[in-house]
Amino acid sequence: MSTQHHWKHTWPCAKVFGEFLCSKREEIAEKVVLEIGAGATGVAGLTAAKLGAEKVWMTDHPDLETALTTLQKNIEANGVEEKCHVAGLDWDSRASVADVILKIGDRLDIIIASDVFFDPATFRPLVDTLAQLLIKFEHAVVWFAYQLRDDSWTCAPQLAKYRFLKTNLVRRIETEKETIDIFQMTNNFFSESLGYYAGIEGGATGSKLVIIDADTNQRYTSSAPGTNFFLTDHTIICQRIADWILEVFEKGSLDIQKLRAVGLGLSGAEDEEFNRKFVEGFKKNNKGLTENFYLTSDSVMTLLANFPGEENGIVLIAGTGSSCRLKMSNGEVKGAGGWGHQIGDGGSAFWIAREAIQLLFDAEDGMIDGWDTVVIKELLFEHYQINDKTRILDFLYSKFEKHRIADFAVSLATRVDDPAVAEVFRRAGDILGRHVRTVAKHLSEEDRQTLHIVQIGGVFQSWSALETGFVNALKGAGIQKFVMYDPCDSPAMGAAVLAARETRGIYLEQKEEKTKLREISVEED
């Protein structure tokens, strides 16, 4: 930090933040103010002094002697030397922060900072510093401005360490060249409750709900049937979700009035216009819940939860259904699959079951040669308690339920030692690999060399049977290796986290590290 030279310049944030402070004239008047990262110019601190602050402490790294000397001269040139005081403050040193706290005394009302979140390496010490200040001066308010840039930044993990910190976006300013956000941070321990945030992972077969108490980080979880609104009318799904949330709140003796937002990652939620209508209908028919919703597909929700920064990442789902989504470093999302069992779901449990059943019928009809399907037939009879293969047609047509067909994949997975069953899983691996290959086309040649993939779904429990087909599908695409992970947290938790962040500007604590499962090189033939 002390070796950088950002202090020599006045950045675009300075003017915009100064105008914001002017709009807060009455709140600043007669207050004690601390500026962090003042640099040589101290525009924000000088503005506060001119607006009638009683005292302004202006700080930067103690090793930046030239900057601090120039800052003092700037204070004198503006005729506010009686109000403004310069001090060194090293964010990396708790002792330095304590020393500044000692100098300030018993009262600090406002902390201001203009464009201090410019380097991810400083996020941890900066958040630590703000937390230390707000612990001491519990009723102080922090205002800070940030210019949106292309370089990666997220201080969510650092903020999650301090559950009492409440951070909200209070203003967004679009200039001709920049987008500048202004945030407010307070010590929420002494203010109103942060409330509850609900997240739902809605699959075709089953769904999971998590409710987070943002004040204590306590989790309440529940499971329910599927919530794919292409398999069930969306109005029924809407009411099912509302009733489910109310039931969990009632069982947990939780106050539904404190539900601040709901994040929904639902299977089939791919159309933005339909999603908007779904949310409107939800609000209209369930006014007692909340006004804040964040809705997207289960795959995109998992993607955003596991790759929150500006990195490339892939989520590959192979459960009852299947889909693949890529988040590029610029935030753009690309996809392959996810279109349901009629035209998609390749490599999913449903697809594996249907493929095995078709292999059985085709082999016994004489349509194909070379496959002994005795094991598939035995498994089919045992799983569905039938004694003639034609009885499966009842389950495929008149009694059709997607999950009941998909369940057969579990039985098949117990006999991947059988050549016919193994071939079905190899084909599933091939299709899943082609999903990844397809989305990877959107990456540059350099970024495509190593792929990071979060896997979701029970099909991956049979990875050894999928691997050959999967790896072969990636050959010739410029992919040198891929790394696969379990998600850092449940998709339902990710939904709650995203709802809190996107609708309320609050960062909930969640697991940060994805569990690495395997790293495999793709060797060309």
Domain ranges of the chain: 6-190, 196-303
- CATH tag, 6-190: 3.40.50.150
Q: What is the pLDDT of residues 240-279, one digit of tens each?
A: 888 888 888 888 888 888 888 888 887 666 677 777 877 8
**Coil, helix or strand at residue 520:** strand
Closest CA to 290 of 251, 241, 336: 241
Contact between 32 and 65 under an 8 Å Cβ cutoff? The reply is: no
pLDDT of residue 520: 95
Cα atoms in the Cβ-side hemisphere of radius 13 Å centred on 400: 10
Structure tokens given for 396 = 């495929």
Q: What is the pLDDT of residues 9-68, one digit of tens each?
A: 456 788 889 999 999 999 999 999 999 988 888 899 999 999 999 999 999 999 989 999
Q: In which order are the strands placed within the sheet that holds 259-266?
A: 219-225, 206-213, 196-202, 259-266, 293-297
Pairing mode, strands 55-60 and 84-88: parallel
Answer whether 6-190 and 196-303 agree in fold: no
Pairing mode, strands 515-521 and 481-486: antiparallel
Cα atoms in the Cβ-side hemisphere of radius 13 Å centred on 306: 31
Per-residue exposure over 149-174, b if at least 16 CB sit within 10 Å of its own CB, e if not: eeeeeebbbbbbebbbbbbeeebebe
The pTM (predicted TM-score) of the whole model is: 0.60
Q: Cα angle at 373 between 371 and 374, to 5 degrees?
A: 135
Structure tokens given for 9 = 């310049």
Rounded to 5 degrees, what are φ and ψ at 495? -65, -40
265, containing H or E segment: strand 259-266
- Cα separation of 493 and 425, whole Å? 31
Tell me, what amino acid is at 248?
V
Q: Is the dihedral of CA 352, 356, 359, 365 positive or negative?
A: negative
**Alpha helices per DSSP H over 191-328:** 234-251, 272-285, 298-306
Band of pLDDT at residue 494, cut at 50, 70 and 90: confident
Question: How many Cβ atoms are within 10 Å of 181's Cβ, its own excluded?
Answer: 18
- Cα separation of 331 and 325, whole Å? 12
- Cα separation of 507 and 504, whole Å? 9
Q: Calculate the average pLDDT of the chain.
A: 86
Rounded to 5 degrees, what are φ and ψ at 306? -95, -20
Class of domain 196-303: alpha beta
Q: Is the dihedral of CA 239, 240, 242, 243 positive or negative?
A: positive
pLDDT of residue 2: 43
Choose from 174-188, 334-348, 382-396 the range with maximum mean pLDDT.
Answer: 382-396
Q: Cα angle at 80 between 74 and 86, to 5 degrees?
A: 60
Q: For the chain, give the percent of residues with pLDDT over 90.
A: 45
Please state the separation of Cα 473 from the chain's center in Å: 29
Band of pLDDT at residue 1, cut at 50, 70 and 90: very low
Band of pLDDT at residue 218, cut at 50, 70 and 90: confident
Q: What is the pLDDT of residues 316-361, one digit of tens each?
A: 999 988 989 998 888 788 989 888 788 888 999 999 999 999 999 9
